[in-house]
C-alpha cells in the first residue's frame, strides 16, 4: 500500500509519459492525417491483462478501443511474448476499429515477465482497398476496404518482421507515409518504455503493479458507471456531489451547467453535448 502522495505522483508521471508519446508522434509523423488532424491516440500504460491505466493528451474517441484490441492480441499470443516483441493489428473482426486505424503494442518487462503495455493507434493515410484513403461508405464487403492485419508481431525479439513490412508496403498507395507513421508509433512506444523503466527503477516491479492497480481503483471509485476511464484525464465529481454536473478540470463550463450526457467519459470544452 502506497501513500496518497506517491499514488498521485505516479498517476501524473504515467499521464506525462502519454503526453510525451503524443508529441513524439506529432513530431515524427509523415502524414497530414497525424500532423494536422492529429487522428491518433497514445496510452503509456495498460496493465498485463490489457486494462487501460492512463491515456495521453490525444483523441478520446479511441479511449476504449485499445484495451479491446490489446486483449485480442493477448488471446492470440498468450505467453508467447518476449522482450523486443512489438504487436500490431487493424482487423475490425478481431478487436480493431476500421482498417486505417493501425494499433502498435509494446510490452514492458520486469523480472522476465510483461507487467504493462505501451500502446498507440494511428489513422493511416491509406491501407489499400478500392478507393484512395481506404474510406468508402458504400463498400459492400471488408475486402474492398483495404489490407486486414490480424494480431501479428511487427518486431520479434527486437528484429523487424521484414515479411509483414513488405506486405504492408506493397498494399498501400503511399508506402512512404504509411511506414513513416508506423515508425512514429514505434518511437512513441520507445518513449513509453524509457519512462516506465525510470518508474520501475524507482518503485520496483511490484510497486509499479500496485500503483497501476491503485490508479484504476481510484477511477472506478470516482464513478463506478465508467470503469474504463483513464488516470489523469477523468472528470471529477461535481463540488456539489451531483452526478449530472461534470466536466473536465479547467473546462469553460466551470460547473455552471448540467452535463447533458453524464454517461460520456470525456468533455473537452464544456458540458458534454446531448446525443442526437
DSSP 59-113: -GGGTTHHHHHHHHHHHHHTT---TT-EEEE--GGGT--STTEEEEEEEEEETTE
- Convert the pLDDT of each residue in 153-202 to its tens digit: 999 999 999 999 999 999 999 999 999 999 999 999 999 999 999 999 99
- Convert the pLDDT of each residue in 79-100 to its tens digit: 999 999 999 999 999 999 999 9
Task: Render the burial of 3-20: b for 16+ CB within 10 Å, e for the rest.
Answer: eeebbbebbebbbbbbbb
Question: What pLDDT, on the 0 to 100 scale, is given for residue 252?
Answer: 34
Question: What pLDDT, on the 0 to 100 scale, is given for residue 136?
Answer: 85
Question: What pLDDT, on the 0 to 100 scale, is given for residue 146?
Answer: 95
Q: Where are the domains of the chain?
A: 4-218, 236-276
Average pLDDT (17-23) is: 94
- Cross-strand partners of 106: 118
Of 104-108, 252-256, 267-271, highest mean pLDDT: 104-108
Mode of pairing for the β-strands spanning 101-110 and 40-47: unpaired
- Distances from the Cα of 80 to the Cα of 20, 131, 152, angstroms: 29, 37, 12
Whether residue 20 has pLDDT greater than 50: yes
Average pLDDT (47-62) is: 86
For 82, other C-beta atoms within 10 Å of its C-beta total: 15
Q: Let me know: does 216 contact 160? Beta carbons within 8 Å.
A: no
Q: How far apart are CA 105 and CA 259, in angstroms?
A: 34
- Distances from the Cα of 214 to the Cα of 1, 6, 69, 248, angstroms: 9, 11, 23, 21
Question: What pLDDT, on the 0 to 100 scale, is given for residue 222?
Answer: 65
> Who's near 243: CB < 8 A, 6+ residues apart?
223, 237, 262
Whether residue 48 has pLDDT greater than 80: yes
User: In terms of pLDDT, which residue wins out, 62 or 66?
Assistant: 66
Q: How far apart are CA 65 and CA 55, in angstroms?
A: 12
Q: What is the mean pLDDT of the chain?
A: 82
Whether residue 269 has pLDDT greater than 50: no
Residue 137, CB-side half-sphere exposure with 13 Å CA sphere: 0
Please report which confidence band the pLDDT of residue 272 belongs to, taking 50, 70 and 90 as the band edges. Answer: very low
> Who's near 209: CB < 8 A, 6+ residues apart?
47, 48, 115
Please report which confidence band the pLDDT of residue 256 belongs to, taking 50, 70 and 90 as the band edges. Answer: very low
Please report which confidence band the pLDDT of residue 62 belongs to, taking 50, 70 and 90 as the band edges. Answer: confident
- Convert the pLDDT of each residue in 212-249 to its tens digit: 999 888 877 765 554 444 444 333 333 333 333 333 33
- Alpha-carbon torsion, ordered 79, 10, 121, 94, to 10 deg: 40
Question: What pLDDT, on the 0 to 100 scale, is given for residue 59?
Answer: 81
Amino acid at each position: 500500500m502506497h501513500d496518497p502522495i506517491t499514488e498521485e505522483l505516479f498517476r501524473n508521471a504515467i499521464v506525462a509519459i502519454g503526453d510525451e508519446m503524443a508529441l513524439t508522434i506529432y513530431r515524427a509523423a509523415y502524414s497530414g492525417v497525424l500532423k494536422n488532424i492529429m487522428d491518433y491516440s497514445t496510452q503509456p500504460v495498460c496493465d498485463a491483462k490489457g486494462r487501460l491505466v492512463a491515456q495521453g493528451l490525444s483523441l478520446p474517441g479511441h479511449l476504449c478501443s485499445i484495451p479491446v484490441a490489446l486483449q485480442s492480441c493477448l488471446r492470440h499470443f498468450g505467453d508467447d511474448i518476449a522482450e523486443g516483441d512489438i504487436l500490431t493489428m487493424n482487423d475490425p473482426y478481431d478487436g480493431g476499429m476500421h482498417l486505417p486505424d493501425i494499433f502498435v503494442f509494446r510490452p514492458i518487462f520486469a523480472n522476465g515477465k510483461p507487467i504493462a503495455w505501451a500502446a498507440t493507434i494511428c489513422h493511416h493515410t491509406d491501407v489499400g482497398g478500392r478507393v484512395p484513403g481506404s474510406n468508402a461508405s458504400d463498400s459492400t464487403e471488408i475486402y474492398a476496404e483495404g489490407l486486414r492485419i490480424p494480431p501479428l508481431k511487427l518486431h520479434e525479439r527486437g528484429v523487424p518482421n521484414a515479411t509483414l513490412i513488405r506486405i504492408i508496403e506493397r498494399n498501400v498507395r503511399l508506402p512512404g507515409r504509411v511506414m513513416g507513421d508506423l515508425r512514429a508509433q514505434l518511437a512513441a512506444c520507445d518513449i513509453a518504455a524509457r519512462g516506465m523503466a525510470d518508474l520501475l527503477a524507482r518503485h520496483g516491479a511490484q510497486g509499479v503493479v500496485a500503483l497501476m492497480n491503485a490508479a484504476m481503483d481510484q477511477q472506478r471509485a470516482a464513478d463506478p458507471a465508467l470503469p474504463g476511464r483513464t488516470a489523469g484525464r477523468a472528470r471529477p465529481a461535481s463540488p456539489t456531489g451531483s452526478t449530472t454536473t461534470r466536466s473536465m478540470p479547467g473546462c469553460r463550463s466551470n460547473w455552471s451547467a448540467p452535463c447533458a450526457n453524464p454517461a460520456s467519459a470525456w468533455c473537452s470544452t464544456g458540458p458534454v453535448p446531448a446525443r442526437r
